[in-house]
Amino acid sequence: MKLYDCSTAPSPRRVRIFLAEKGISVPTIQVDLRNGEQFGETFRAINPDGTVPVLVLDDGARIADIVGICRYFEETQPMPPLMGIDAADKAVVESWQRWCERECFYAVMDAFRNSTPGLKGRALPGPDPYEQIPALAERSRTRITRFLERLNERLAANQFVAGERFTIADITALVSIDFAGWAKVKPAENLGHLKRWHQAVSARPSAKA
Amino acid sequence: MKLYDCSTAPSPRRVRIFLAEKGISVPTIQVDLRNGEQFGETFRAINPDGTVPVLVLDDGARIADIVGICRYFEETQPMPPLMGIDAADKAVVESWQRWCERECFYAVMDAFRNSTPGLKGRALPGPDPYEQIPALAERSRTRITRFLERLNERLAANQFVAGERFTIADITALVSIDFAGWAKVKPAENLGHLKRWHQAVSARPSAKA
């Protein structure tokens, strides 16, 4: 088994934190995203989409999706559970994870990719060229700000994003919020519940992964 | 248990097909999206986001996310499996489902919501106002076309989206492609594998759900 990773990138960081919380160690291969290694022939043979993370299983099967990779490890090593403990809890955790991803992670990606000079013509991940849309970057910043306010409200009554346990939803929220700094959006100082939560999850050893 | 639904909308259709494939019947309450019932006080008390589907469990717990709801039923009634059969298969199915959702369902939503005159100021689902971005509608159409070509390649070697079994990935792809008609994008006639697959999945009784 091996994990194609890039130690500076937000997407594989979601998997790295997940693995660290489970105490799982997987041999990794670093892909140099800054210098375009993901679009070279060697890596495109692993993943034609040119994205990391990618998990390659011992039988050669490839899982080129963040949450798909997390699912594999949740199934093979259920403890500690990061994706819910029974039917209702699994559904609730998945809903919050998806909310954080849709409203924050994807919004940050849109804000960053549609405004960063070095990403002209690469406004979406993958090999296809897409021009930047400045209005989308701007709208995404508004959306992230709104997400942070709503997450703060949520955390007023809950220790963690999905309730009383640390889950994959916290990982998605943490990585998204740290990634938002790349798009020059930071949580407002008055979001006290969010601040309390962000300090707590950032202090976990897994956050360094 | 009850399911808040809208019989004409693509998002709850994903859940309806999933339930039909499982042979599960849930009491439903129709929400009149066309006349804005989702933003009225009564429904906002159920789901502040003003979106359907929402599943309310007997203990009052609410699951307001398409895949979260599917996960609940996959866990409570595993047969027939629609989200994978073992760790690796679950990871693969999830990856393909997420690919179809990200590259097609969300792209169709962006194409439709950013170009439809009746949705001015409502370019994203939910209660917050967002102006339409015509360039995003246009870029999303290109993205959908590219997705259809890639799905056609995938289906050249696979009976279904995630491999040899019908799964939630087929449901997401089917609903997304039918929804794409709303954004005036149809699969090109020369995409023969896609056509074969679309006819087959559309002929399943669940497709009428």
* pLDDT bracket for residue A117 (50, 70, 90): very high
Structure tokens that stand for B30 in this block: 């129709």
SS3 content of chain A, % helix, strand, coil (to 5): 55, 10, 35
What pLDDT score does A185 carry? Answer: 95
Structure tokens that stand for B14 in this block: 């994903």
A88, A92, A133: residue with CB nearest B135: A133
What pLDDT score does A167 carry? Answer: 99
With beta carbons less than 8 A apart as the criterion, state whether B78 and B86 touch. Answer: no
> What CA–CA distance (Å, rounded) separates A99 from B125?
12
Contact B67 A92 (CB under 8 A): no
Instruction: State the ipTM, two decimals.
Output: 0.96
Which residues in chain B (27-66) have CB-CB distances under 8 A to chain A?
Answer: 55, 57, 59, 61, 63-65
Nearest-CA distance from A95 to chain B in Å?
5
Q: Decide if B19 touches A, using CB distance below 8 A.
A: no
This model's pTM is above 0.80: yes
Residues of B in contact with A56 (CB under 8 A): none
H-run or E-run covering B2? strand B2-5
H-run or E-run covering A5? strand A2-5
What pLDDT score does B160 carry? Answer: 98
- The terminus-to-terminus CA distance of chain A in angstroms comes to 19
Tell how strand B2-5 and strand A62-63 pair up: unpaired
* pLDDT bracket for residue A101 (50, 70, 90): very high
Probe site for chain A from B70, B71, B136 (most A CB atoms < 10 A): B71
Contact A95 B63 (CB under 8 A): yes
Average pLDDT over residues A33-56: 94
Total count of residues recorded for chain B? 209
Average pLDDT over residues A72-78: 98
Structure tokens that stand for A83 in this block: 């994706």
Q: Decide if B82 touches A, using CB distance below 8 A.
A: no
Q: Considering only CA atoms, which of A157, A196, A169, A178 is closest in space to residue A9? A: A178
Probe site for chain B from A15, A94, A161 (most B CB atoms < 10 A): A94
Locus of tokens 């690919």:
B99
- What's the pLDDT tens digit per position in A147-199? 999 999 999 999 999 999 999 999 999 999 999 999 999 999 999 999 999 99
Nearest-CA distance from B102 to chain A in Å?
10
Which residues in chain A (149-178) have CB-CB distances under 8 A to chain B?
Answer: none
Residues of A in contact with B61 (CB under 8 A): 88, 92
With beta carbons less than 8 A apart as the criterion, state whether A104 and A178 touch. Answer: no
| pLDDT cut 90: percent of chain A above it | 98
With beta carbons less than 8 A apart as the criterion, state whether A124 and A130 touch. Answer: yes
Residues of A in contact with B130 (CB under 8 A): 139, 142-143
Low-confidence ranges of chain B (pLDDT < 70): none
Contact A72 B86 (CB under 8 A): no
Residues of B in contact with A113 (CB under 8 A): none
Structure tokens that stand for A56 in this block: 């390659």
Structure tokens that stand for B184 in this block: 């005036």
